[in-house]
Amino acid sequence: MFRTFLAMDEQIVDVQYLGVMGFFGFGRKSFGATTTSRIAKIELGLFGEVIYHEAMIRDVNSVHISQPSRLYLYILIGLLVLAAIPTFGLTLILIFFAPQLYYRFVKSGVVLGVKEGLFLYAFADRARLPRVRLLLGAMAKQR
């Protein structure tokens, strides 16, 4: 997947699957990669959606990893289930989109601070946090 966006002579050092932002496999799948000169992420959504971001390794100033509490996500899902009673179950469809809505406002994963005040954000769920550390370790070796 990453090869499409890279120069032909650029070597991929590490690629990791970082999780899915959704339930039961529905949602955006997140991947991260480190090459010899850059760090990148790809998100694959429904119906062929592709979101690609990259940053040059030499331009990364800081790293921030965040894993917020899931309490508010569960509260949001509970409210949608309660709202399903008067709407005859129509709001149950929104449960599949609740994680994407939640993580749009509450960030979970890794944020890389790049020069000029830009940020590279890659979603990662709790179970795949060690994979984020592997990507960051590969990035540190390339520096």
Each of the 143 residues of the chain gets a pLDDT tens digit; together they read 888 888 888 899 999 999 888 776 678 899 999 999 999 999 998 888 899 999 999 999 888 888 888 888 889 889 988 888 888 778 888 888 888 888 878 878 888 999 877 888 888 888 888 899 889 998 988 87
User: In angstroms, rounded to a whole number, what is the distance separating the alpha carbons of residues 18 and 34?
Assistant: 13
Q: Which helix (H) or strand (E) holds 34?
A: strand 28-35
* Integer Cα distance of 42 and 12 in angstroms: 14
Domain at 2-68+107-142, CATH from 2.30.40.10, 2.30.29.30, 3.40.1280.10, 3.40.50.620: 2.30.29.30
In the chain, domain spans: 2-68+107-142
What's residue 83's pLDDT? 87
